[in-house]
Amino acid sequence: MNYTIIIRPIIGAVIGYVTNWIAVKMLFRPLNPIKIGKIKLPFTPGIIPKNKERIAKAIGDTISNNLLTEDAIVNSLLSEEKEKIIKEKIEKQLTKCSNENSIKENILKIVEEDTYSNAVNVINDSLADNIVKTLKEENIGNMIASQIEIAAKEKMQGSMLRIFGINSIISNISSEVSIKINEYIDANGKEIVSNIINKKIDELEETKVSAITRKINDSEIDVVSIIMNIYNKIMKEKLTEILKAINISNIVTDKINSMDMLELEKLILTIMKKELNSLVNLGALIGFVLGLLNLMF
C-alpha cells in the first residue's frame, strides 16, 4: 500500500493547523519583548501587546465615529419605544414623590446632606451675585433717585417754594441719593439679597410635595409633557455638546489601555473564540487540500 497518498495530505493538514495555531497565539504572546543579550527577538512581544495603544485608539475612534454616532444615539433616545419607557418612569417617579414629606426630605433620600447643603450654597451665591450685578448694571440708585425727584417736584407744583429754586435743590439731593444708594448696594447688596434668597429656600424646603402636586393638578399643567419636551429639546439641540464633553472615543481608548494584557486577551478570546478556532481548523483544511494537490504534480 502506498502510504504517501495518505501521509502527504495529513502532514499538510498538521502543518496548516500548527501554523495557524501559532499565528493566533502570536496575536497575544509573548506579552513582553524577549531579548538574547542586547538583541530583541523579532515578533516579540505579540502583535496586540506591541500595538496596544494604536489598537485602543482605532477601536475608540471606530466606536465613536461609526457605531455610537450622534445620529445613532439621537435616533435611539428619541425612538417611540424609548420615549414611552422614559415617560412611564417619569410618571412613576412623580407618583412616588407625591407624598407628605417636604421637598428637602425627598431630596435627602437621593443625595447626602453635605452635598445638598453645598448645592444650596452655590445656588444662593450665584443668584445673589447675578442679582446684585444686574442692580449695578441698571444703576438702580439712579432709578430710585429719579423717581424721588419726580415725586418731589410734582408735590411742589404751584408751591411758593418754587420761587426759591427748590427744584434745583431737589435735583442736587437726588444726585447725592443716587450715589449713596449705589454705594450701599455695593457694600451690602449681596448680603441682603442672599438673606432673602435663603428665606425663600427655607420656605420652599418645608413645602410638602403633595401640596405642589395638588397645585399642579388644579392648574391642569401637564408636567410629564413639559419634562418630555425639555428632554427632546436637550437631545436635539445639546447632544453634540454632551458627546463632546463625554468623548466616547477617549473613554474606550483609556479603558482598553488600562486593561491588563491577560484581561484583554481573555476578553478578545471570549468574543472571538469560535472564529479563531475556525481559522486554525481552516489552516488544517487548506494544508490537507494542498497535500492532495501535491500528489497530482
Query: For each of the chain's 297 residues, which pLDDT tens digit applies?
Result: 566 677 888 888 889 889 988 888 888 888 888 888 888 878 788 888 888 888 889 888 888 888 888 888 888 888 888 888 888 887 777 666 556 677 777 777 777 888 888 888 888 888 888 888 888 888 887 887 777 767 766 666 655 545 445 566 666 777 777 788 888 888 888 888 888 888 888 888 777 766 766 666 666 667 778 888 888 888 888 877 888 888 888 888 888 888 888 888 888 888 888 888 888 888 888 888 888 787 776
Closest-CA residue to 265 (of 55, 41, 60, 33): 55
Q: State the Cα–Cα distance between residues 76 and 208, nearest whole angstrom.
A: 37
Q: State how far the Cα of 210 lies from the Cα of 95, in Å rounded to an integer.
A: 10
What is the model's pTM? Answer: 0.51
Q: How many residues does the chain have?
A: 297
Return the C-alpha cell found at 18.
Answer: 500548527
- Indicate the DSSP class of residue 205: H
**Could you give the 3-state DSSP secondary structure of residue 37?**
coil
As a whole number of angstroms, the longest Cα–Cα distance in the chain is 144
Q: Which of 58, 214, 205, 59 is nearest to 124 (CA)?
A: 205
